[in-house]
Structure 1
Amino acid sequence: MFRAAEAPIAGMVLLTPKAVQRASLFVSFGGLVTTFVTTLLPLWKTMNSDLNEMENWYEGLWHMCIFTEEVGLHCKAFESLLALPPITLASRVLMCVSVASGLLGVAAAFFGLDGVAIGPGCHRTKRTLLVLGGVLIWVSGVTTLVPVSLIAYVMVVEFWDESLPDVMPRWEYGEAMFSAWFSGLLLVVGGTFLFVAVCMGDHEARQRKEIFTPPHEQRPKTQHYLKTEVL
């Protein structure tokens, strides 16, 4: 009977603000690393021509690559920014913003963790750092999901464009796009759980204050006596 009652209590003890902070920071750091790698990969788009099945074309935000069995993988960087399509240029900018904001967010959240000493009497500063880190990580996740979703939408529209001849090959989704979706979701989840950790910490501090604060001392009641004189 007592063991069954102790199991939920043990689960609640494990779910502390400190544990949620570390879990959210771990998830956010994983999403940030994945976003950085995805930004550099030339595997956003893939294309295989029916005329020459031995050639596979790949395109990313920075490189255009071709893979053949004779030569292997050969990549070439885009030469001019002005020659880039507007969607590719905007996606490149957004991914760079994502990496920068995610890096700042993880750094701010790290110094806001419980157990990381930054000076005496710094509870309010740590809370501010956690909130700032959550906002920056959230921005990083959104700026990762927006460009990959925009590129995916344009690819779908062009793939089913009836004005283009059927012989012309179409771009298809590459592995980096799925990686970008996954990393963006990780960043959004990590930033959200930082907000949850802040709310849990505020609730725990409020409960601790109510428990350890002594009740207000009641003032002693004064009795007023009516003075009577005996004549």
Structure 2
Amino acid sequence: MAATLCQVMGFLLGLLGTAAIIAATGMDQWATEDLFDNPVTAVYSYSGLWNSCVRQSSGFTECRPYFTILGLPALLQAVRALMIVGIVLGAIGCLIAIFALKCLKMGNMEDNIKATMTLAAGIMILLAGICGIAGVSAFANLIVQSFRFTTYSESGFGSYGGSIGGLSGSLTPRYTFGPALFVGWIGGAVLVIGGILMCLACRGMSSDGKQRYDGMTYKAASQHTMYKSDTRPRPAHNDSYKVQSVDGRLSNQRFDYV
């Protein structure tokens, strides 16, 4: 019962985590503009793995996809690859987990085969979670490095001989974590938990599937076996049933009386 519960819970968490990383991969808000102390709020920009969008204060949003592949940074392409690999592994693992469910009867499939399929599905779901977490963390590291070395004004605000409150340099927006990163982290963590539960369920199924047979041991007789004579008392021999002959001698004829 515990193995079945772990298997079903791992399967459901695998489905939920796969859906989460699919949603995170398709979202455009991986990096959003930091509005803290931003003097310009009429334009709000954000970007994802596939598009770069700009939203104006009027509500109009314009998104432009990345038409090139070779011109993109290598880290962005690596993040794309990790997320796609995580989605593929999660989908295949969930598909195998459907046929490996202990509560479903698939012909004459034995429990040890289902246990092996459950282990394979658990490993795939676990790897999918690791790929999702690695991809999101790599993109978050890129945002952190860009945030540290980006300032709003290269020449500085009005200070020391400049006009107070005036801008004298070029404006460069800074980006921070977007909602897609948190969705990807949560989805990857859910996939890791689901994969661990599937592996634990495989262990429980393999132990329950082993049948124990209580056999009897046979011990061969020893060559030096000693046989004892029968010392039990025997009944006395009664000759009363024998018929006497005419001359008085006992005859060997027997008669049965009913």
**Shared fold by TM > 0.5?**
yes
Match of 2:162 in 1: none
Contact conserved, 1:35 with 1:184, CA < 8 A, in 2?
yes
* Mean CA deviation greater in 113-122 or 33-42: 113-122
Tell me how far apart the structure 2 counterparts of residues 91 and 217 of structure 1 sit (CA, whole Å): 63
- Is 1:104 paired with 2:92? yes
Q: How does 1:82-161 map to 2 (within 5 A)?
A: 82-161=70-149
Shift of 1:135: 1.2
Range that drifts further, 218-227 or 178-187: 218-227
Q: Counterpart amino acid of 2:51?
A: H
In the alignment, the residues of structure 1 paired with residue 11 and residue 109 of structure 2 have an alpha-carbon distance, to the nearest angstrom, of 23
**How far apart, CA to CA, are the structure 1 residues paired with 2:146 and 2:183?**
22
Cα gap change, 1:88 to 1:162, in 2 (>3 Å): closer
Amino acid paired to 1:151 = F
CA RMSD of aligned residues (A): 2.4
Pick from 184, 193, 210 the counterpart of residue 180 of structure 1: 184
Contact 2:18 2:87 in 1 (8 A): yes
Q: Which residue is equivalent to 1:34?
A: 20
**Equivalent residue of 1:214, what SS?**
coil
**Contact 2:151–2:173 under 8 Å retained in 1:** no
Q: Distance in 2 between matches of 1:85 and 1:24?
A: 36
The 3-state SS of whatever aligns with 1:92 is helix
Q: Which has the larger radius of gyration?
A: 2
Distance 1:81 1:65 in 2: 18
**In the aligned structure 2, how far is the partner of 1:134 from the partner of 1:116?**
18
- Shifted more, 160-169 versus 38-47: the winner is 160-169
Cα 1:163–1:77 shift into 2, 3 Å: closer
Contact 2:115 2:203 (8 Å CA) reproduced: no
SS of 1:65's equivalent? strand
Q: Deviations over 1:64-120 (max 9, x none)?
A: 111112242221211111221111111111111111110000001111110222221
> TM-score scaled to structure 2, two decimals?
0.74
Confirm or deny: 8 A CA contact 1:48 1:57 kept in the other structure: no
Deviation of 1:52 (Å):
2.1
Fraction of identical pairs, as percent: 23
Unaligned runs of 5+ in 2: 157-170, 230-258
Is the contact made by 1:140 and 1:184 (CA closer than 8 Å) also made in structure 2? Answer: yes
The residue aligned with 1:199 is: 203
- State the match for 1:171 in structure 2: 175
Structure 1 SS opposite 2:28: coil
Contact 1:48 1:55 in 2 (8 A): no
Q: 1:65 aligns with which of 37, 48, 53?
A: 53
Query: Runs of 5+ in structure 1 lacking a partner?
Result: 1-14
Counterparts of 1:115 and 1:185 in 2: how far apart (Å)?
Answer: 26
Change in CA separation of 1:67 and 1:90 when aligned onto 2, cut-off 3 Å: same
What TM-score do you get using the length of structure 1 for normalisation?
Answer: 0.82
**What is the distance in 2 between the residues matched to 1:71 and 1:82?**
33
Aligned partners of 2:27, 2:177: CA distance in 1, in Å?
13
Between 1:72-81 and 1:119-128, the stretch displaced more is: 119-128
Paired with 2:150 and 2:15, the residues of 1 have a C-alpha distance of 43
Question: 1:225 maps to which residue?
Answer: 226
Equivalent pair of 2:150/2:172 in contact (CA under 8 Å): no
CA distance in 1 between partners of 2:68 and 2:121 (Å): 35
Separation in 1 of the partners of 2:217 and 2:19? 56
